[in-house]
Structure 1
Amino acid sequence: MNTVLFDLDGTLLPMDMKEFTDTYMLLLKSHLESAGYEAEKIIAGIWIGQKAMIENNGMLTNEECFWKAFENFMTDGNGKMETKVKRKLEKEIIKFYKEDFGVARYVTSPSNIVSECIHILKEKGYQLVVATNPIFPEIAIYERMAWAGVDTEDFSLITTYENSCYTKPNPEYYKYLLKVLYKDPDDCLMVGNDVKEDMSAKHLGIDVFLLEGNVIEDLNTDISEIKRGNWSVFKEYVSNLPNLNR
């Protein structure tokens, strides 16, 4: 094993996913209403777009897939929004991420031990990847990484909705990672807190580690044989990994 894939929400950035999502949506709703938009319809469209990304068959990027479904919903089935209307909304959403999204960091629980583990792995020569579910734009993912206290430069790949064509737990998402990283399954370890989305990597032969603390359960998945533990246990685990630089 020479490559560690990390989930972001609930893993690199400890959080209660429901609390975070609720806060995020309230902040977005408030921002859009202040800007004069019909916030409830836009948020409904965002959920439609997210569903489309989850069902993406790889023919479009997740970004393209999102906007296709979102625009169709916003135009009541007429396909595309007017270009200037779409661009104005895109600018407003970017403004939201730059100005208001940061308030949501207060419902997350960043921990110094996360950056300590990243440092240990980097020092030992392991390749690191942020394998977050790519349903957010890069600006939102990079912002949450900053909250977690991890440097984007430490990771050779960060999956976003701009650079991905699949989402977790679709096995094609992990096949895509292996392809772009030029890795075999036994080269990799997937670390995450979501049993269904993250631990499904094991079906491709990728080793997995269930990060406890904010576990999202899946009653249909047997986790009895899966490595698991909190960040302290994971730190001990990575401290005992071989140094690849020797």
Structure 2
Amino acid sequence: MIRAVLFDMDDTLLRLNLTAFIARYVAGASSILARAARTTTMSLGAAYVRGFLAMDDQDRTDSLTNEQVFNQVIYDQTGIPLDDPVIHDLMDYYESEIVPGFSGGLVAARPVEGAREAIGAVHDAGLICALATNPTFSLACDRARMGWAGVSEDDFALVSTFSNSTRSKPSAQYYQEFANALGVRLEECLMVGNDATRDFARPECGLRTAYVGHARPKKAVWHGSMEKLSHVLPDLLARLNEESA
């Protein structure tokens, strides 16, 4: 029985040039931290790349949150303690007040057609609706991108961030932690995402995925556009529940 629908964000609810967004985000963050710590933006940029790679490492065995891993890499590479209250407040201001203005230009952020309606269909069905975006950013960054997608935290029972996750997609551990936080089993969740790799848990753990990207992965329980999914979601949920029964 499906009890929760988990949505990916980037290119699922939100159309954007993710590479351009990350580049713009890192450039701004590096500039701010370089001035505060009297170091070079180049060294900060390289440290950010290493931090993202460390969070994304699928062979990790630690029990740290992604944020703790990221902060440790930045500290090891630059000596900057991102968890220091003053620096934390500085970065929170950057992410809350500056990053929301990054939607234009090459980033080209805009809502995906049908995304708002699909979320509405989940709520109309009385199911849990959650945002299972790859947890490599803070909640402030997730909020900025949610705003560009025309959604908000109020639409979701839970939003994954680098603060509340210890792994990143496609790790089954990430998905299990997320389901645990929602109080459901993975078998009771339907993932909706566009990435034929990251939005399918590895190893397989009972999570089913409706695919809204451009490929045709055989392991998807459904594939098509988000706009089409918004219309057929009730029928898809009924089919999955019948198959489970």
Same fold (TM over 0.5): yes
Contact 2:5 2:130 in 1 (8 A): yes
1:1-246 correspondence to structure 2 within 5 Å? 1-29=2-30, 38-55=40-57, 56-75=60-79, 81=80, 86-106=84-104, 107-111=108-112, 113-200=114-201, 203-212=204-213, 215=214, 223-226=217-220, 227-240=222-235, 241=237
Partners in 2 of 1:190 and 1:24 — Cα distance? 27
Q: Give how far 1:201 is off.
A: 6.1
Task: Encode CA deviations 1:14-51: one digit per residue, 9 max, x unaligned.
Answer: 22322333333344455556777522211211112222
Q: Give how far 1:111 is off.
A: 3.9
Contact 2:81 2:87 in 1 (8 A): no
Structure 2 gaps of 5+ residues are none
Partners in 2 of 1:156 and 1:119 — Cα distance? 13
Contact 2:116 2:150 in 1 (8 A): yes
Structure 1 stretch displaced more, 41-50 or 28-37 = 28-37
Change in Cα spacing, 1:202 to 1:146, as seen in structure 2 (3 Å) is farther
Contact 1:135 1:161 in 2 (8 A): yes
Aligned residues: CA RMSD: 2.7
Q: Give how far 1:156 is off.
A: 1.2
Contact 2:6 2:192 in 1 (8 A): yes
Partners in 1 of 2:55 and 2:81 — Cα distance? 22
Q: Give how far 1:102 is off.
A: 2.1
Contact 2:71 2:81 in 1 (8 A): no
> TM-score, normalised on structure 2?
0.82
Contact 2:44 2:78 in 1 (8 A): yes
Q: Give how far 1:152 is off.
A: 0.6
Partners in 2 of 1:238 and 1:202 — Cα distance? 26
Contact 1:112 1:149 in 2 (8 A): no
Q: Give how far 1:57 is off.
A: 3.0
Contact 1:52 1:66 in 2 (8 A): yes
Contact 1:58 1:166 in 2 (8 A): no
Q: Give how far 1:65 is off.
A: 1.2
Structure 1 stretch displaced more, 21-30 or 165-174 = 21-30
> TM-score, normalised on structure 1?
0.81
Contact 1:57 1:165 in 2 (8 A): no
Percent of residue pairs identical: 26
Partner amino acid, structure 2, of 1:119:
G
Structure 1 gaps of 5+ residues are 76-80
User: Aligned with 1:128: secondary structure?
Assistant: strand
Task: Encode CA deviations 1:115-137: one digit per residue, 9 max, x unaligned.
Answer: 12211211210101111111101
